Amino acid sequence: MYEAFYGLKEKPFSIQPDPDFLFFGFRHSMAYAMLEYGIQNKAGFSVICGEIGCGKTTLVRHLLNNLGSDINVGIVYNTHQDIDDLLSWIMLAFEQPYEGLSNVALFDAFQRFLIERYSQGKRVVLIVDEAQNLSAGALESLRMLSNINVDKDQLLQIVLVGQPQLRDLLRRPELTQFYQRVAVDFFIPPLQPFEVVKYINHRLQIAGREDKLFSPAAAKLIAQASGGVPRSINILCDMVMVYGFSSGASVIGLKIVKEVLKDRAEYGVLA
Ligand SMILES: Nc1ncnc2c1ncn2[C@@H]1O[C@H](COP(=O)(O)OP(=O)(O)O)[C@@H](O)[C@H]1O
Ligand SMILES: [Mg+2]
């Protein structure tokens, strides 16, 4: 809609977790370094938590694109599953056959898959997104999978990604054994206000905009209204640009942001 008007090749503020738009805020850089560290050092479990919309899935997708060919990665997104289904989803994540197999057969097939990769000199990393939805039983079965080994070498590394409830879940007394195996445990909070300004400019630049589009005051108000949560920043910025385009504004000033916030408070469903 407004892309051509603002000199953009594509929409800069989509809410898809597109790694091409990834902005490395301070905590995102740290989280990424921790994930890389965990994988390099063969950590059994790594845990990354954060509120909804803070960039967890985007970061994981970036990781996926940047791991070497010696590492086999599978991602499970669909975690509203009971334990039995989980194994099927894991097989699917690694493009392995799973249909019509009993739970025992699935476990066996997965174990054989791990051993085969190991013998090829490849490592296997399983990423479970939205892991806060897993039951304690499902976590326990993940722990069992991570126990599979050959000559003391663990064959599977697991990265759990989820909302803050994941931490509460892992701290339950019955999961002590599990928690002790977690080597990397990191939290991604919302962006700091000064980072929000950079974040907005970064996304605009990736989308093809050369010159500044948002005034400093406009970006500051967006930082405040969004609480620094990237997903909320995107929704707000998109709306602000629609308003800007509709009124023929060549740059986005404070007035437009205020207008959007006022309308949202009065009529919006998201207010
Ligand atoms: N660091 C970041 N850089 C660029 N975009 C981000 C960043 N963090 C979040 N986003 C954007 O915010 C939205 C929500 O991000 P997502 O990764 O789905 O969050 P989460 O998985 O934590 O709920 C997506 O549009 C995503 O591209
Ligand atoms: Mg996510």
User: What is the pTM (predicted TM-score) of this model?
Assistant: 0.92
- What pLDDT does 179 receive? 84
Distance 226 CA to ligand 1 centre (A): 13
Q: Would the CB of 62 count as within 6 Å of ligand 1?
A: no
Q: Would the CB of 237 count as within 6 Å of ligand 1?
A: no
Nearest protein CA to atom 8 of ligand 1, as residue? 55
Distance 61 CA to ligand 1 centre (A): 10
What is the block-wise mean pLDDT of the chain (271 residues), using blocks of 10 residues? Answer: 95 96 96 93 93 96 92 87 78 95 93 96 95 88 89 90 93 86 92 97 96 96 97 97 96 97 82 52
- What pLDDT does 225 receive? 97
Nearest protein CA to atom 25 of ligand 1, as residue? 15
Distance 6 CA to ligand 2 centre (A): 29
DSSP 85-147: HHHHHHHHHTT---TT--HHHHHHHHHHHHHHHHHTT-EEEEEETTGGG--HHHHHHHHHHHT
- What pLDDT does 270 receive? 59
Q: Would the CB of 55 count as within 6 Å of ligand 1?
A: yes
Distance 104 CA to ligand 2 centre (A): 30
- What pLDDT does 269 receive? 63
Q: Which ligand 1 atom is nearest residue 52's CA? A: 23
- What pLDDT does 153 receive? 84
Q: Which residues are CB-contacts of 25 (< 8 A; sequence separation ≥ 6)?
A: 55, 191, 192, 195, 199
